[in-house]
Amino acid sequence: MSELRSLGQNIWKKPLFRLLLAVACAAVAGITVAHAFIGSVSMVSGTSMIPTYEPGTWVYTAPISTPLERGDIVVIDDGNKDKECAIKRLVGLPGDVVHIKHGYVFINRKMLIEPYLPKRVYTFPTKLPGVFVLGNDQYFVLGDNRGGSADSRAYGPIDRKQIKRRIPVPEDSARAYFSPHILPAYEAILPPRPVHKLES
């Protein structure tokens, strides 16, 4: 035991060993900081963002340093324990009322035009009814592969804390915009909120 201690002290006294140890520690710290504050590269494994991202595509993900905007592509924790994260597109922002009707997405009764979707691709409700009222810290996300994406139509709005990173897109990328078409008021009626019976 004393021989091992003596050997360790002799190694520690060597400047080259201390230099290599310092370089290794700096490298680990640098990688950790870069991942948290600069960005990282990840591979797309699912099909929910086809055709924007095919499976096997490598994407750069960056920390969120500016306000989130409609149309941003983000990395989220969707609560699925089988996979690490999911990539989705932000469609609804805090305070919005999202209607999915007639194959289109309406935000606050205005039809959202999504030029990044292929022609004749429509959006329909899946597991939940097609009306969502977003809270002050909630977002509505959809995959671009509307027929093959598990998204807010299935699990509802997500909280801001579930949005982990953003995938930067080129400045000239197609962004969603509103058309002049407005959902008629009688079609935009919100479903009644459940009223819980009081115990007497």
The residues that are catalytic are: 48, 88
Give the separation between CA 108 and CA 171, rounded to whole angstroms. Answer: 26
Cα–Cα distance, 97 to 83 (Å, whole number):
29
CA angle 194, 196, 197 (to 5 degrees): 140
| Cα gap 153→43, rounded to integer Å | 24
- Which of 149, 172, 152, 164 minimizes the C-alpha distance to 73? 164
CB atoms within 10 A of CB 22: 10
- For residues 99 and 152, the answer to whether their CB atoms sit within 8 Å is no
CA gap 22, 174 in Å, rounded:
47
Residue 172 is given by DSSP the state: T
The residue count for the chain: 200
Tokens of 53: 């991202």
